[in-house]
Every structure is written in structure tokens, then in C-alpha cells.
């Protein structure tokens, strides 16, 4: 697979209290304008790495870790068999395995979902196909997102990640999207950029707790 990098120990990328290793895969089919890792978009960037080498690097720190997060880029661009082998190997080290994904393409998610303990699914826009297409650079629809959420819910825990960016600042529509996705936990993340955002993450979290008990704000 192609990777952009590995953070062997992180206390800020998982759920509260979770110590994780984070693997960033290389390549993404979406072009979200607020992307936090644009350098991971190019599928020919980064470097090639085999699963065994990645697992050896993770194993050095496994005694300190709770989980391995496979992020990107978009990890679903990587070969399905390699993703499953990576997840099996991480579980063999005693770690939970988390897939941090846009959910696109959802059919590929269905092929690997049984290998993961949790899916961290990114909500990109309100759930209208035209808005979702615009927010992802034309690559993904709201229907794709909802299909990915259904696939994840059937097989593992679903974490919904919401970055409060300028295209996702309508509280009632965000609440409605969360209700439709029906996650086990919601993580609200603060937008880092030069544009103003109309809602405060803490205020959004309070509204979301009316429909989801487990809501976390990451600042």
C-alpha cells in the first residue's frame, strides 16, 4: 500500500482516553476545500510500504497503545486485501482497529468492514446530493454517505466525525444528518482555517446530545 506517514503514539486522534497509533494512507478521490491533509491526495505521492513493515513499526509501541487508526487520504483506495491484513495484524498485537474514512466508495467499505472494530465516518455536508457533491469536489453524494453509515452500523461501532467548517454550519441540518446516520458516538471538531464559522462546536454538541447521548468535542 501507499502511505503518507505513521504517528506511532497519539493521545489526540482517538476517543477520550484512547492512546493510538495513526497510519495515514496516500491518495484520495475527493477534493474537499477544507481538507486538513491535502498533501495526501495524490495517489502517486507518499511511499510504498508493505503491511509487515508497518506492523513491525507499530509493534514497537504496542504496549502503550489501545488502537491503530487507519486514516488518510482515503484508506479505501488501498488494496482491500492489504487493509484486511493490516487490521488482522494489529488485532494480533492486541489493538482495536479503527478506519477513519469518508466512506467512499461505500462498496469497498463493505468488503473490508468485518476487519475493523470501529469506523470513524466523516460528515462532509448537509445530506442533499447536490451539496454533498459540491463539498467533496464532485466525488461523493449524500446517498453514498448514508450507504456507508448503514454498512458500518451493521458490522461495527460507528463514530461520526463532524468538522465545523463554513459549509457545515447549519445546526438543524447537522442535527438531522446525525439522526439519519444514527452513530454510536459523535466527535465534533473545530475548523482550523481563515474563514468564519457561524456555530460554536460546544453549542453544536449540546444540540446533538438531544439525539445522541455520546458526543465529544475535540479542540
**The pLDDT value given to residue 200:** 85
Quick one: how far is CA 22 from the chain centroid? 11
Rounded Cα distance, 68 and 74, in Å: 16
Q: Domains in the chain, ordered, with CATH?
A: 2-218 (3.20.20.70)
Whether residue 219 is predicted with pLDDT greater than 80 in this model: the reply is no
Count of Cβ atoms closer than 10 Å to residue 25 Cβ: 28
Rounded Cα distance, 160 and 182, in Å: 9
Rounded Cα distance, 2 and 27, in Å: 8
Over the chain, what is the mean pLDDT?
A: 94
183-207 pLDDT per residue, tens: 999 999 887 766 667 778 899 999 9
- 97, 115 Cβ separation under 8 angstroms: yes
pTM recorded for the entire structure? 0.95
Whether residue 110 is predicted with pLDDT greater than 70 in this model: the reply is yes
Amino acid at each position: 500500500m501507499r502511505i503518507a506517514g505513521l504517528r506511532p503514539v497519539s493521545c489526540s486522534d482517538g476517543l477520550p482516553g484512547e492512546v493510538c497509533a495513526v497510519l495515514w494512507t496516500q491518495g484520495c478521490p475527493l477534493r474537499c476545500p477544507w481538507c486538513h491533509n491535502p498533501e495526501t491526495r495524490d495517489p502517486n505521492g507518499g511511499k510504498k510500504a508493505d503491511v509487515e513493515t508497518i506492523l513491525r513499526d507499530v509493534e514497537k509501541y504496542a504496549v502503550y497503545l489501545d488502537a491503530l487508526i487507519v486514516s488518510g487520504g482515503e484508506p479505501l483506495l488501498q488494496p482491500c486485501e492489504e487493509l484486511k491484513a493490516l487490521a488482522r495484524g494489529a488485532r494480533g498485537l492486541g489493538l482495536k482497529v479503527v478506519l477513519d474514512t469518508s466512506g467512499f466508495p461505500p462498496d469497498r467499505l463493505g468488503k473490508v468492514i468485518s476487519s475493523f472494530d470501529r469506523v470513524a465516518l466523516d460528515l462532509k455536508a448537509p445530506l442533499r446530493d447536490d451539496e454533498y457533491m459540491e463539498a467533496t469536489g464532485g466525488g461523493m453524494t449524500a446517498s453514498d454517505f448514508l450507504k456507508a453509515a448503514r454498512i458500518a452500523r451493521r458490522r461495527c461501532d460507528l463514530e461520526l466525525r463532524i468538522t465545523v467548517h463554513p459549509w457545515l454550519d447549519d445546526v438543524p441540518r447537522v442535527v438531522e444528518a446525525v439522526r439519519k446516520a444514527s452513530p454510536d458516538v459523535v466527535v465534533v471538531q473545530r475548523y482550523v482555517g481563515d474563514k468564519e464559522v457561524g456555530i460554536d462546536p460546544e453549542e453544536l454538541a449540546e444540540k446533538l446530545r438531544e439525539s445522541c447521548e455520546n458526543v465529544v468535542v475535540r479542540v
